[in-house]
Structure 1
Amino acid sequence: MNRINVKKFGFAMGLTAAILYAGCMIVLATAGQEGSITFFNSLLHGLDTTSIIRVDVPIWEALIGIVQTFIIAWLTGALIAAFYNTQIKSR
């Protein structure tokens, strides 16, 4: 079996999560509060997001959020790759 490059897998996870975060920002910016509530309620299997949807997020808060999301996802991806690599039998 092949080993996974920890840094590259972490980067791929981080970038994917950041893109999903940006997609969420686009939904909130374009659909408005009611449209966003409808979208996320259907996405989350009917979980009522009415009390947690906020469309008046300052840009600096959104930028910090996207950076934090990237970092958390990078660490998650790196850990997954590292754990995977430790399970591979050495030849």
Structure 2
Amino acid sequence: MLQINVKKLGFAFGFTGALLYLGCIIVMLTAGKEGTVTFFNNLLHGLDTSSIIRMDVPLLDAFFGIIQTFILGWLVGACVAAFYNAQINVIK
């Protein structure tokens, strides 16, 4: 079996998470508060998000949020690849 490149999978997960975060920003900028609440209520199977949606997010908070999301995604992807690689080495 082939091994997965830990850094590349980490980057793929991190970049995907950052893109999702950016998509959230775009939804909030274009749909307004009501549209954002409706979008996330539908996405989360009817969970009422109206009390947790905050529209006045400072630019610096959004910047750090996208960076943190990338880092967490990178760590998750790297762990998945490392665990997968460790498992195929055990089976051999």
Structure 1 and Structure 2 fold alike (TM over 0.5): yes
Runs of 5+ consecutive residues of structure 1 not aligned to the other structure: none
* Structure richer in helix, relative to its length: 2
- Match for 1:37: what amino acid? V
Name the aligned partner's letter for residue 73 of structure 1.
G
Matches within 5 A, 1:1-91: 1-89=1-89
AA matched with 2:53: I
The percent identity for this pair of structures is: 65
Which blocks of at least 5 consecutive residues in structure 2 are unaligned? none
In the alignment, the residues of structure 2 paired with residue 52 and residue 5 of structure 1 have an alpha-carbon distance, to the nearest angstrom, of: 38
Normalising by structure 1, report the TM-score: 0.97
User: How far off is 1:89 after superposition?
Assistant: 3.5
**1:54 partner letter:** R
Q: Which amino acid aligns with 1:79?
A: C
CA distance in 2 between counterparts of 1:53 and 1:45 reads 16
TM-score (norm 2): 0.95
Paired with 2:47 and 2:2, the residues of 1 have a C-alpha distance of 40
Q: Which runs of 4+ in 1 moved over 6 A?
A: none
Q: CA deviation at 1:42?
A: 0.2
Name the Cα RMSD after superposition.
Answer: 1.0
Letter of the 1:52 partner, please give it.
I
Cα shift at 1:55: 1.1
